[in-house]
Amino acid sequence: MAKTNTVKASELLFPTPRTILDKEGFFRFHDGITIAVDPSFTSLIETAPALLQIQQGGEDILVKQQDGFPSEGYSLTIGKKQIVIKASDEVGAFRGISTLRNLTYTSDHRLPCCAIEDSPSFAWRGFMIDCSRHYFSPAFLKKLIDVASLYHLNRFHWHLSDDQGWRIPLDGWPQLEKVASKRTLLQYTDGRTYGRLYTKEEILEVQAYAHARHMIVVPEIETPGHVSSLLAAYPHFGCSGGPYEVQDRWGIFDEVLCAGNNQVLEFLEDAITQIAALFSDPYIHIGGDECPHTAWESCPKCQKRMQEEGLSKEKELQSWMTSKICAMVNKAGKRPIGWDEVLEGTESLGLPEDLIVMSWRGVAGGIEASERGHEVIMCPNTDGCYFDYQHTDDEEEMGNLGVSSITQVAQFDPLAGLKGETDRARVLGSQGNLWSEKITNGRQAEYMLFPRLMVLAERLWNPQEPEKTLDRIPLLYKVCDALSIHCYRGPLA
């Protein structure tokens, strides 16, 4: 009888592990095999069997604790009779489980024998979902988190407020649910509305799901711009006093938080305190992007604030607000993150030292922030990190504003343009961002995210030559099919 050729593990894995040694033979994976997890890996005892769809109780797969692995590092050895995963901590063990699970989808359950040693290139490997413009259900968010974790992504940036809707429940602020969470759909004439808050229970459910997959959740509250929904609910937070409306249009709006109003600061402190209590991870994103200063120029309260603080430009007023908001985040026990506009107007006031800068308008902001001593997350819209952009420049292709081809993503380097070793070390990593102005359902979101998000994951875990990455795109289609993910399958450039 002729032997069945088994494809090598090195040809089936994405991201490619740091080192992999192919061996002869294969392990036949099926739902009758068993797994034993080291008792010190407490959450994996339940999670691993469920993810692999196998049973506890035996040692067909053995997950062991062993010191000496780097952060998130692991080893995976697949023999003909047994699979062994070793890691120093539970995070590394989970990464090993994810690699094994990935291989089950690409190998048709005939796992080629191999020996793997693996660890990541970057600490921050994430994705951002805009749930203000489009409300995505907790079930759908969990589906995305699961697929993202399969490719070793470890940050879920949850964009929860913007001009078109507020999604965070806050005790003591009833107008957020009554007004800020809903927008009138202007394309209809019958006054119908769209949107809702997430409940605290839903947020905790999504967070727990992410934590079980060793993914940190980063909530974002927009300040001081992109706040039309908040102003509609509490018009006295604006410079003119309103009336304002939750926007059903896209763009940048002049209505921003009044920097001279102490009630705005009191609200933000309470909001940040409540958000910090609800979200247990270390970060809160404070926005800071695309904030016009037009309203401040003619606002007596803002001009008085500038005079009191010795500020000569409205840009400096935003810097003043950034410092105040960062102090609130610190007081709540968290670390602030802001879009790269937070760098502007800081010549006299500076920027809080622990503020992480997320560079989206190209890489210049990230380079400047790193040179100024700040840690940086590089997600430039110019280099393939914006997944609401089209896959190709084709009028028949879905997408908004620009092009982020799969080839662009495969060529992305978060360290490009950074010269000194110290500056390069301040780059934590990157993330893919999906803004949802033109997205109306989860299937469309999947099409925009995949396989680009998978390709970005490789750039952050163990980047390969772009040609090698692009050759493996069919593997990603196979996983998408297995997980019922609607993905783009068109030209790569």
CATH assignment of the domain containing 23: 3.30.379.10
The pLDDT assigned to 439 comes to 96
Neighbour tally for 364: CB within 10 Å: 14
95 and 184 share one domain? no
State the residue range of the domain holding 200.
124-470+477-482
Residue type, 87: A
Distance CA 493, CA 484 (A): 25
In a domain, 2, yes or no: no
151 and 42 share one domain? no
233 and 371 share one domain? yes
Q: Out of 22, 269, 270, 290, which one is annotated catalytic?
A: 290
Distance CA 296, CA 256 (A): 8
In a domain, 348, yes or no: yes
Number of domains in the chain: 2
Distance CA 116, CA 295 (A): 58
Q: Catalytic residue at 226?
A: yes
In a domain, 403, yes or no: yes
Domain closes at, from 118, 135, 151: 118
Beta carbons of 92 and 2 less than 8 angstroms apart = no
Give ∠ CA 102-103-105 in degrees, rounded to 5: 70
22 and 152 share one domain? no
Distance CA 469, CA 212 (A): 29
In a domain, 217, yes or no: yes
209 and 129 share one domain? yes
Distance CA 269, CA 272 (A): 5
Assign 3-state DSSP to the chain and report helix, strand, coil percentages, each to 5: 35, 20, 45
Hey, is 343 helix, strand or coil? helix
Of the chain, the end-to-end C-alpha distance in Å amounts to 44
In a domain, 3, yes or no: no
In a domain, 269, yes or no: yes
Sequence-distant contacts of 26-29: CB under 8 A, at least 24 apart: 26/78, 26/80, 26/107, 26/110, 26/111, 26/112, 26/113, 27/78, 27/79, 27/80, 27/81, 27/82, 27/83, 27/110, 27/111, 27/113, 28/109, 28/110, 28/111, 29/104, 29/107, 29/109, 29/110, 29/111
Helix (H) or strand (E) holding 44: helix 42-52
Q: Which residues pair with 488 in a beta bridge?
A: none
Domain closes at, from 86, 118, 150: 118
In a domain, 4, yes or no: no
Concatenated DSSP letters for 46-78?
HHHHHHHT-EESS-SEEEEE-TTPPTT-EEEEE
Q: Which residue has the tokens 């069919």?
A: 474
Judging by DSSP bridges, how do beta strands 83-87 and 61-65 pair with one another? Answer: parallel
Tokens of 260: 């001279």
In a domain, 174, yes or no: yes
The pLDDT assigned to 5 comes to 64
The pLDDT assigned to 348 comes to 86
266 and 322 share one domain? yes
Sheet of strand 110-118, all strands in order from the earlier edge strand to the far edge: 19-28, 110-118, 74-78, 83-87, 61-65, 34-37, 55-56
Tokens of 412: 């992305």
pTM above 0.85, yes or no: yes
458 and 339 share one domain? yes
Distance CA 317, CA 292 (A): 11
The pLDDT assigned to 2 comes to 41
Output phi, psi for 423, to 5 deg.
-65, -40
Distance CA 121, CA 314 (A): 40
17 and 104 share one domain? yes
Hey, is 147 helix, strand or coil? helix
Q: Catalytic residue at 290?
A: yes
Domain closes at, from 58, 83, 118: 118
E strand intervals along 193-333: 193-194, 216-223, 283-287
Q: Catalytic residue at 458?
A: no
339 and 381 share one domain? yes
Distance CA 241, CA 484 (A): 48
377 and 455 share one domain? yes
Return the CA Rg of the chain.
Answer: 24
Tell me the CATH number at 419: 3.20.20.80
Ranges in the chain, pLDDT < 50: 1-3
The pLDDT assigned to 76 comes to 98
Q: Out of 134, 152, 157, 226, which one is annotated catalytic?
A: 226
185 and 91 share one domain? no
Distance CA 286, CA 162 (A): 12
Q: Which residue has the tokens 């078109």?
A: 164
Q: Out of 162, 255, 316, 458, which one is annotated catalytic?
A: 162
Tokens of 52: 């692999």
14 and 56 share one domain? yes
